[in-house]
Amino acid sequence: MVTIGVDLGGTKIAAGVVNEHCELLYKDSVPTGASRPAEEIVADMAKLCRNVTQKASVDMKDVGWIGIGSPGSIDRETGMVLYANNLPFNRTPLAGILRGHWDIPIYVDNDANAAALGEVYAGAAKNCRDVIMVTLGTGVGGGIIIDGKIYAGFNSNGAELGHTVIVANGRPCTCGRHGCWEAYASVTGLILDTREAMLKNRDSLMWEIQEGSIDHVSGKTAFIAAKKNDPAALEVVRGYCDYVAIGITNLVNIFQPEVLCVGGAISKEGEYLLTPVRKFVERERYTRYCAQTELKIAALGNDAGIIGAAMLGR
């Protein structure tokens, strides 16, 4: 038996066929067209699921279920997206609409939870039972796996890791609070720090990298310059790594997972990011004299959400 995993995003819908060994047989994607009605988005999702099944040379009757990782607040019992701020979903019965196109079991969970599950089944945390995955992207997301199962709280909305405060009365966050981890450890926060450093240091190499403009600064800008020993960029990267490490240390102290995986766009920096974060956590963690959480870069990249979604039925 095979299953289908769908990673629903604000920009694209990705789907793939996954076998019983958690191997991705075939995947493809289409634009989401997020401004359209939910029914049109789901219709394209259904068409994509059929296409990847055909391309994988799998008979549709051999598909056991479809799993969907969706942004936003999810009612896992009903497959309803209660709210997603980058999609036109507000109490949208996602599973029910898709079942109108394909009448098989359909499971829906938060996209970060699905990615965490993917790393447990086939990635950096394979065969581990207690795992946290943190994604450093436009925001800071994450998923928590306890005893092999997704932890979501009594209302299916737990694990909003990015919205824990690390700086009292700090930067405003998109959630309405101030000082959230997301405001500092996201790509958005890193870009803000980079721009501030550039304006204070007109001789920084970062200006040359950005061709004399701060308008197109990215999450890579400071890291590129820091690797060339630019002092201002080094300061930005050090500060950013500290912000990431503060949040990770809190998670380690609370949950003590076997493995904590770091994914998202910034995770592509690999050990250049993780080495200083690891040193900070080793210094600041509460439990210094027992078995320790292993910090790893997530292994599956953009496939984590697809594979994890495909495993939701398990």
**Can you give the length of the chain in residues?**
314
Distance of CA 265 to the CA centre of its chain: 9
Condensed to tens digits (0 to 9), the pLDDT of residues 78-91 reads 999 998 877 889 99
**pLDDT bucket at 71, cuts 50 / 70 / 90:** confident
pLDDT for res 87 = 85
DSSP letter, residue 152: -
* CATH class of the domain comprising 2-122+303-310: alpha beta
Condensed to tens digits (0 to 9), the pLDDT of residues 104-154 reads 999 999 999 999 999 999 999 999 999 999 999 888 988 999 999 999 888
Rounded to 5 degrees, φ, ψ at 212 are 80, 15
Average pLDDT of the chain, as a whole number: 93
Q: Which CATH number fits domain 131-298: 3.20.20.30, 3.30.420.40, 1.20.1430.10, 3.50.50.60?
A: 3.30.420.40
The ranges assigned to domains in the chain are 2-122+303-310, 131-298
Sequence-ordered list of residues with C-beta below 8 angstroms from that of 219, at least 6 positions apart, any chain: 187, 190, 191, 265, 266
pLDDT at 269 over 80: yes
Tell which residue, 141, 154, 174, 148, has the closest CA to residue 71. 141
pLDDT for res 230 = 98
Q: Which two tokens stand for residue 19?
A: 């076998």
pTM score of the predicted model: 0.87
Same fold flag, 2-122+303-310 and 131-298: yes
pLDDT for res 190 = 97
pLDDT for res 264 = 87
Condensed to tens digits (0 to 9), the pLDDT of residues 163-194 reads 999 999 999 998 889 999 999 999 999 999 99
pLDDT for res 144 = 95
